[in-house]
Amino acid sequence: MSAPLGFAVIGAGRIGALHARHLAGAVEGATLTLVADVDESAARAAAVAGAASVTDVADALAHPRVDAVVIASPTSAHAEQLREAARAGKAIFCEKPVADDLDQTVAAMDVVERAGVPFQIGFNRRFDPAYEALAHAVHHGELGKVELFRSQSTDPRPAPEAYIASSAGFFRDSVIHDLDTARFVAGEVERVTALGRVLVDPVYERYGDVDTSVITLEFASGALGVLMNSRRTVYGHDLRVEVHGERGKLVAEDERATKVWRYDARGFHGDFYDHFLDRFRDAYRRELQAFVDAVLAGRPPTPGASDAIESLRLADAATLSLHEGRKVAVSEVGARGSAHPGENASTRLGNGGLG
């Protein structure tokens, strides 16, 4: 049996602290060596099970028992930390998105590929048992030809303002999960059309962002899709995926935090998940397990660099559609040095500019 992979978790906020807990005992073949965060108390609090804590990423990368990193710092810090970790020869699991824009994403993925280190992007929904089973059924032809795809994701409430300010906007930060699910389940997308509004909290206007959106997708296969997203659902975190094909349909929805139904004079009620960290807890653990299994077996982890790039490309195409009020061909959205041309100055969007 090979020695466990020693991990450094970089960024110990909402998601980093959860990854650290999983690596400290719930992921076979992994051990949590240390946690790095610019905030010393956050690093210390997340450094469970005897792990060390540091405030400097360079110290984390120089540690002799760090073989792999989980990058869970704010999105704006990912690209630089990816480059440093790749140069240090570490296996890299990076939270989505890799960067705020496609140019930086492609450049960072280039460095990773040239360094030849394993890389996985944190599209956790691919590891949710329901999403995984649905995609597996589609890929194995259960539905025959896929004709329609639908994904809905809504958060219970808006994120804190500080998070909004450093996120790359609704499409790149949150809807990117639905865009990646669309690609994962139904294949590549050729054209997108996006509508967006600020209906929940005016704070989003301050950042040129939206909090409510509908995006339509035209898949390369000819299938059509729709994504519905909101930063607010008063009854909790709500996620639904539906795929309709020539032989029927597959639906993953109505997840409940417990199996209890409560009956009273007003009807019957179930318990909801209040937060994505609860709804996807198992998926967050399973994605790390898949990463560790792949690294230890010498297989390329998945989803990898091309998924990081292509799902962000869709988010950029949706952003461009929103800005310009028109249907956008995904091939219009290029990045310097990208394999996809479509180089066009108007497609290089600023950070979070969704307004």
Q: Which residues make up the interface to ligand NAD (CB under 6 A)?
A: 10-16, 36-39, 42, 57, 72-75, 77, 95-96, 122, 124, 163, 173, 276
Instruction: Please state, in angstroms and rounded to a whole number, the distance separating the CA atoms of residues 19 and 68.
Output: 13
Instruction: Please state, in angstroms and rounded to a whole number, the distance separating the CA atoms of residues 102 and 309.
Output: 7
**Minimum CB–partner distance for residue 264 and ligand NAD (Å):** 34
Residue nearest to ligand NAD (CB): 13
5 versus 36: smaller Cβ distance to ligand NAD: 36
219 versus 276: smaller Cβ distance to ligand NAD: 276
| Environment class of 103 (CB within 10 Å of its CB; exposed 0-12, middle 13-18, buried 19+) | middle
84 versus 147: smaller Cβ distance to ligand NAD: 84
Tell me if 307 sits within 8 A of 112, measured CB to CB: no
17 versus 317: smaller Cβ distance to ligand NAD: 17
Alpha-carbon distances, residue 194 vs 43, 175, 284, 316, 317 (angstroms): 39, 11, 29, 11, 9
**Minimum CB–partner distance for residue 188 and ligand NAD (Å):** 22
**Minimum CB–partner distance for residue 157 and ligand NAD (Å):** 14
**Minimum CB–partner distance for residue 176 and ligand NAD (Å):** 9
Tell me if 236 sits within 8 A of 156, measured CB to CB: yes
150 versus 177: smaller Cβ distance to ligand NAD: 177
37 versus 316: smaller Cβ distance to ligand NAD: 37
**Minimum CB–partner distance for residue 10 and ligand NAD (Å):** 5
Q: Give the DSSP per-residue string, 210-229.
A: -SEEEEEEEETTS-EEEEEE
Which residues, 6+ apart, have CB-to-CB distance to 344 below 8 Å? 332, 333, 334
**Minimum CB–partner distance for residue 246 and ligand NAD (Å):** 33
- Three-state SS across 83-95? HHHHHCCCEEEEC
Determine the Cα angle at 73 with ends 101 and 172, to 5°. 30
What is the maximal distance between C-alpha atoms in the chain?
64
